[in-house]
Amino acid sequence: MDGFWSGVGVDLHLEPDSADGRRIGLERALRDAVRDGRLAPGTRLPATRRLAVELGMSRGTAKAAYDQLVAEGYLTARQGSGTQVASLPSVDADTPAAAAGVRAPRFDLRPGSPDVGAFPAAAWLRALRRAIATAPSLAYDYGDPRGRIELRTALSGYLGRARGVITPPERIVITSGYVQGLALLTRVLGGAAVAMEDPGLPFHREVVRRNGGSVVPVAVDEHGARAEELGDVAAVVVTPAHQYPTGVTLRPERRRALSDWARARGALIVEDDYDGEFRYDRQPVGALQGMAPAQVVYLGTASKTLGPALRLGWMVLPPHLVDAVADAKLHSDHHTESIGQLALAELIGRHAYDRHVRACRLRYRRRRDQLLDRLGTRRQVRGIAAGLHALVDVTDEATVLERAAEEGLAVGRLGDHWHTPGEGRPQGLVVGYGTPRERVYPEALEVLAKVLDAA
């Protein structure tokens, strides 16, 4: 016997097995729905009379099933409030992490995320309302794998004036973030060798490998990626505005050398402009793409400016790659969700995005200055001209990280970023100052200073 109920605004598919009797079958079906989360705590269940009619059984049978589940603690019944799903004990206590005593840090200074508490919710809501009010009906259908033309047009203008990127809307592909862009490009390159900065983010190297590419390290020094070390690879991935994790900026002569190498070899430069908007010592450094539009694949996202949860990124492609990447995108997820694209286009078009970025730049500069004031007399702090992280020199990462963990403090480790970790590699802490909320950031710095003093 199958059934649905919808009389109190709840649609739930039940399959009571009447082999052992209708009451027992209903009890088992309801119990399973509560256990697997299909009926969430607090959900109000229909009255027994209505449930009996909808499932084709007697009211007495339905009431007996409810009474049994109330007795077992799965349901609660109160006069005037009807019958509701009870709150069951959390299963987290039985998970391996909980059993091992793993808990979230008190202070999170790991790099990679912005202050999501600064998300411009009011401005986003206004943009979303305008986007929905004016969106054509086709916006809710399947769309162009390259993304909504409204957002691509807005980005063409914004990237040109804010980042020095040269592109018409036709050469932009909207993605769900940097990782998807890198994965799509790796597939289009057909498993070719890709050079990646050393040190660099291990996760990005794994993205290349899992999409069929092979990874070759290219060393980074105080001037950025060493272009003279590039050999026979199809592409090189760089973070020229603010290298991750060292924080250095790619020098002009290295930019020219990279462009010359790409032209001579017919290779690609993949520019990861992950935090290019946040420059503190002068105007943001322009994108490398503006020097060599035919050789550079530019990747940007809203993850650091707005928040990773939006899952909105963009690729600016040389003309010969647009169709291939769009086809890969089509066969990956067809297209990125459209309503968020329209809202971002509104936000950019009315310059609310610019205002938000400027406000964030001031906020993060203050945090950078606090970091320098607190730690600058203790350790060498590098990579401070831009971005949301800094590199703090230490001589014994393991000891410092152990003490940090004892204090409930989480920070990044430079040693995790080398292609081949080993003795003799420089050591350091990669300290992210974007993540903590304003009220806890000073205390987090105090704890970090204490840990460094103890080391």
Tens digits of residue pLDDT in 45-86: 888 888 888 888 899 998 999 988 888 788 998 877 789 999
Residue 98: what pLDDT? 44
**Do 394 and 346 belong together in one domain?**
no
Please indicate, yes or no, if residue 229 is contained in any of the structural domains: yes
Residue 33 pLDDT grade (very low, low, confident, very high; cuts 50, 70, 90): confident
Burial class (CB in 10 A: 0-12, 13-18, 19+), 53: middle
Residue 11: what pLDDT? 65
Quote the number of domains for the chain.
Answer: 3
Please indicate, yes or no, if residue 99 is contained in any of the structural domains: no
The domain boundary, picked from 298, 319, 351, lies at 351
**Do 441 and 368 belong together in one domain?**
yes
Residue 253: what pLDDT? 96
pLDDT tens digits, one per residue of 8-28: 455 667 778 877 788 888 988
DSSP 181-236: HHHHHHHHTTS-EEEEEES--HHHHHHHHHTT-EEEEEEEETTEE-GGG--S-SEE
Q: Give the mean pLDDT of 284-306.
A: 95
Residue 99: what pLDDT? 44
Residue 5: what pLDDT? 56
| Number of CB atoms found within 10 A of residue 324's CB | 16
Q: Are 168 and 188 spatial neighbours (Cβ–Cβ below 8 Å)?
A: no
Residue 89: what pLDDT? 62
What's the CATH number where 421 sits? 3.90.1150.10
Q: Which residue has the tokens 């990124």?
A: 313
The domain boundary, picked from 351, 372, 395, lies at 351
Cα angle value 107/110/111 (rounded, 5°): 140
Whether residue 215 has pLDDT greater than 90: yes
Q: Which residue has the tokens 């909808």?
A: 54
**Do 443 and 342 belong together in one domain?**
no
What's the CATH number where 20 sits? 1.10.10.10
H helices within 338-396, ranges in order? 338-349, 352-375
Q: What phi and psi values does residue 29 have, to the nearest 5 degrees? A: -65, -45
**Do 318 and 214 belong together in one domain?**
yes
First and final C-alpha spacing in the chain: 68
**Do 340 and 385 belong together in one domain?**
no
Whether residue 96 has pLDDT greater than 70: no
Sorted by sequence, the CB contacts under 8 Å of residue 205 that are 6+ apart come out as 196, 215, 419
pLDDT tens digits, one per residue of 342-398: 999 999 999 999 999 999 999 999 999 999 999 988 889 999 999 999 999 999 999
The domain boundary, picked from 351, 370, 396, lies at 351
What's the CATH number where 159 sits? 3.40.640.10
**Do 189 and 324 belong together in one domain?**
yes
Q: Can you read off the two tokens belonging to residue 60?
A: 């007495």
Please indicate, yes or no, if residue 97 is contained in any of the structural domains: no
**Do 300 and 361 belong together in one domain?**
no
Please indicate, yes or no, if residue 100 is contained in any of the structural domains: no
Q: How far apart are CA 235 and CA 320, in angstroms?
A: 15
Q: What's the whole-number average pLDDT of the chain?
A: 91
Please indicate, yes or no, if residue 157 is contained in any of the structural domains: yes
pLDDT tens digits, one per residue of 146-176: 999 999 999 999 999 999 999 999 999 999 9
**Do 280 and 317 belong together in one domain?**
yes
Q: How far apart are CA 453 and CA 455, in angstroms?
A: 5
Q: How far apart are CA 119 and CA 46, in angstroms?
A: 39
Residue 54: what pLDDT? 83
Please indicate, yes or no, if residue 217 is contained in any of the structural domains: yes
The pairs formed by 34-41 with CB atoms below 8 angstroms and a separation of 24 or more are 34/69, 34/74, 34/75, 34/85, 34/86, 34/88, 35/88, 38/12, 39/12, 39/85, 40/85, 41/85, 41/86, 41/87, 41/88
Residue 13: what pLDDT? 74
Higher pLDDT residue, 67 or 202?
Answer: 202
**Do 262 and 378 belong together in one domain?**
no
In Å, how far are 189, 318, 408, 443 from 170, measured between CA atoms? 21, 10, 48, 48
Nearest to 195, CA basis, from 173, 218, 176: 218
Q: How far apart are CA 316 and CA 298, in angstroms?
A: 5
Please indicate, yes or no, if residue 95 is contained in any of the structural domains: no
Which domain does 324 fall in, by range? 119-351
**Do 145 and 197 belong together in one domain?**
yes
Q: Give the mean pLDDT of 31-57.
A: 86
Name the 3-class secondary structure at 121: helix
Beta-bridge mates of residue 271 = 238, 298
Residue 102: what pLDDT? 53
In Å, how far are 121, 267, 310 from 250, measured between CA atoms? 35, 19, 29
Residue 81: what pLDDT? 74
Q: How far apart are CA 153 and CA 169, in angstroms?
A: 5
Q: Can you read off the two tokens belonging to residue 327?
A: 């086809």
Please indicate, yes or no, if residue 66 is contained in any of the structural domains: yes
**Do 279 and 140 belong together in one domain?**
yes
Residue 94: what pLDDT? 47
**Do 144 and 270 belong together in one domain?**
yes
